[in-house]
Amino acid sequence: MVSDTLDDTASPGALAQREALRRGEVSARELTEAAIASADRHRHLGTFVSLEAELALNEADEADRLIAATPLDERHILPLLLGLPTAHKDLVRVRGFTTTHGSAAVPHLRATHDDPIPAIVRDAGAICIGKTQVPEFGIAGYSENLIAAPARNPHDPERSAGGSSGGTAAAIASGTITAAIASDAGGSIRIPSAACGLIGLKPGRDTVPADQLLLGASTADADPLAPPRLGVSGPIARTASDAALFYDAITASSAAGSPPLEPALAALQRAHELRGLRIGVSFASPFESAMPIEFDEAARSAVARAARRLTGAGHHVDEATIAYDPAYPEFFTTVWTRALLTIPLEPAAEAQLGTLARWFLEQARATPADTVAAALAQLHRFIDDTTAQWGAYDLVLTPALAFTAPSIGDFWQGSPADDYRLQCEWAPQTSLVNVVGVPAITVPMSVDPDGLPRGVQLIGRAGSEVTLLQVAEVLSSSR
């Protein structure tokens, strides 16, 4: 473990910072200046694609003015995240920041307005200091591209921080920011959270209102070959309470003139009262029909440790017998690669694509419409079958990742097919959760022999996001 990349992690978390801001013990400018300085100090991690210090400090000053103008006994009604530094992935537009999508094949334009998720995070008072590193168009489980330095794991900078939210996870794990809202279409919150020792919550489909605003009419009603929406937005944080705070900010609402609601954060106070959940442990993966899926000893030990702690907390943990459709690798890949067809690319610009994106695009173009339709039919049957199997349990417990984070450059050593295969072998139990559309959370549990955090994934039923946060709190507080 390279400890000098983690020298800021003892700083207060988001919730503690917020309360200090409201008490007047620290200013938003001070927190923002510290975050910008930390980003500069950790530049070797490739965390940020761009920083906008002046914009961030101006917003911090506005937050300080609002706090100062609010009587002390009324500050609890201020926006939930007011004055907290954060960041956004370089896949979304943030006013005043340039968006690259991690690609040389599209124009890099400075945004004049926020996309829906950055807009709601801004409305909640958080201050964006920069855009974080991603894979090209967010299509990979690592954060390396052709236009900026790779996002490196703060626990070992020679290894991957995961993806596609790798830059965001590295920024949090190194202590530059305390929490952020990221996106997850196949594991993009959970993979980097697990790789960097963080809590990452992927909400269920249609849970976060702003996600639906972003996608608009991108549904099967507009395109008969469109799959169910895979991508959702959720928090990455060092603690369950910080994750709950940011989750509340993107999901909670309140009547005009009433204090903002914090249901998830309030539920954490009752986390240790939760009892009697039936939890099934599964090492099954739908990719095992196409490739060897091998969980190393550290992955299995993390699951065993979580199972013991959940049993000790009054829950029923049993081995689950789950069998997935062996055709999953083929029909999921058909659906996954089709997303690149929605990206407007000039013919000359396609030569600027990275090899994985180009391969995905070629595969998608070569797939006949009837094959896509058949894949979608298989995918919907998979949803029904898997939902029924998981439904025997309140939660399903799995490893978060199968083995230690690969080294920087490992994914690019072979062909694009080898790249994709390594991703599926490393994170063999994440994409199916997006397909089914239920929530899931990753929680760090231990450290492997290479000094990297190892964790578990808990898959919940529809609407169980708060329960997942409560379980994460129990696991975290007993580590």
| Residue the block writes with tokens 């006994």 | 73
Which tokens belong to 112? 């004049």
Does the annotation mark 164 as catalytic? yes
Question: Which backbone phi and psi does 27 adopt, to 5 degrees?
Answer: -105, 155
CA distances from 170 to 407, 411, 419 (A): 15, 18, 22
Q: Which one is catalytic: 89, 143, 241, 282?
A: 89
DSSP category for residue 294? -
Length of the chain: 479
Q: Exposed (0-12), middle (13-18) or buried (19+): which is 349, by Cβ within 10 Å?
A: middle
188 is catalytic: yes
CA distances from 249 to 124, 167, 282, 344 (A): 6, 21, 32, 32
Catalytic one of 143, 183, 188, 285: 188
Q: Is 89 designated active site?
A: yes
What is the DSSP annotation of 67-123?
A: HHHS-GGGGGGS-TTTT-EEEEETTS--TTSEE-TT-SSS--EE-SS--HHHHHHHH
| Partner residues linked to 279 by β-bridges | 317, 395
Based on DSSP, count helices (H) and strands (E) in the chain, helices before strands.
16, 15
Of 27, 103, 164, 241, the active-site residue reads 164
Task: Give the active site residues.
Answer: 89, 164, 188
